[in-house]
Amino acid sequence: MERRRRSAEPLTLERIVEAALVELDASGADGVSLRGVARRLGVHVTSLYNHVPSKPALLDAMVDRALSGITPPDPHAPWQERVRTLAVDFYQALAAHPALIPVLASERGRPTSPGLFAVMEAALTCLSDAGLSPSHQVSAFRGFLAMVMGLVITHTRGAESTLEAAELAWREAGMAGLSTERQALMAL
C-alpha cells in the first residue's frame, strides 16, 4: 500500500473543495473523484470521509463554494434590475468553473446545494415580484438557468468572453423581430 506524506496544513472541507475545484477545472466533472482529490492533497482517500461522505456531497460543496459570492440583490430595486444583477453574478460564478455546468444540469432539477437554493430563491422572489404565477416563475427560472449556462458554455469555448459582448449579441439577435412592447419586456 502506498504511504502518503503528511501535509503541513490540516485537512479541512475548504481545502478539499478547493482541490476538487482545481481537479474539476483540469479534468471536467467526470474527472472529479475522491481518490483524485486525495492524491492532489497528498492524503489517503479515507481521510476525506471525515469531511465529505460521498462524491455527491463533494459536488454539492463545490457548487456551494462556486456560488458563495452571489448575494441576494437589493430587495428594493426594481425586479428587472434584480434579475439582471443575479444573472451577471451567476454568470461570473459559473464562468470561473464552467465544468460545474454539467453538475448543475444533471441532477439539479432537485437541487440539494444550499448555494443553488439561494440563487433559486432570489430568482423566484424577483419573478414573483414581476407578477408571474408560481408555475410561470418555475418556467422562467428554468429559462434563466438555461440562458446563463448557455452563455457560459458559449464564452468558455473560445467565443468572445466579455459579458457586455454577450448582452449586446443577445439583444441584437433576439430583439430584431420583436415588437416595441416585447423589446421593452425583454430588455430587463
Predicted confidence band of residue 147 (pLDDT cuts 50, 70, 90): very high
Q: Which residues belong to CATH 1.10.357 in the chain?
A: 67-186
**Class for domain 67-186, per CATH?**
mainly alpha
- As a 3-state breakdown, the chain gives helix, strand, coil percent values, each rounded to 5, of 70, 0, 30
Cell, residue 156: 468558455
Q: What is the pTM of this model?
A: 0.76
Q: Which residues belong to CATH 1.10.10.60 in the chain?
A: 13-53
Q: For the purposes of burial, counting CB atoms within 10 Å of the CB of 97, is it exposed (0-12), middle (13-18) or buried (19 or more)?
A: buried
Place of cell 459536488: 59
DSSP 72: P
pLDDT on residue 140: 93
R_g of the chain, CA atoms, integer Å: 19
Per-residue pLDDT reduced to its tens digit, 108-132:
446 678 888 888 999 999 999 999 9
Which of 8, 110, 18 shows the shortest CA–CA distance to 65? 18
pLDDT averaged over every residue in the chain: 83
Query: What whole-number distance in Å separates Cα of residue 2 and Cα of residue 27?
Result: 23
Phi, psi at 109, each rounded to 5°: -65, -25
Q: What average pLDDT does the segment 37-48 reach?
A: 95
Q: Is the dihedral of CA 17, 22, 25, 30 positive or negative?
A: negative
The CATH H-level superfamily of 13-53 is: Homeodomain-like (1.10.10.60)
Which of 26, 70, 110, 153 shows the shortest CA–CA distance to 37? 26
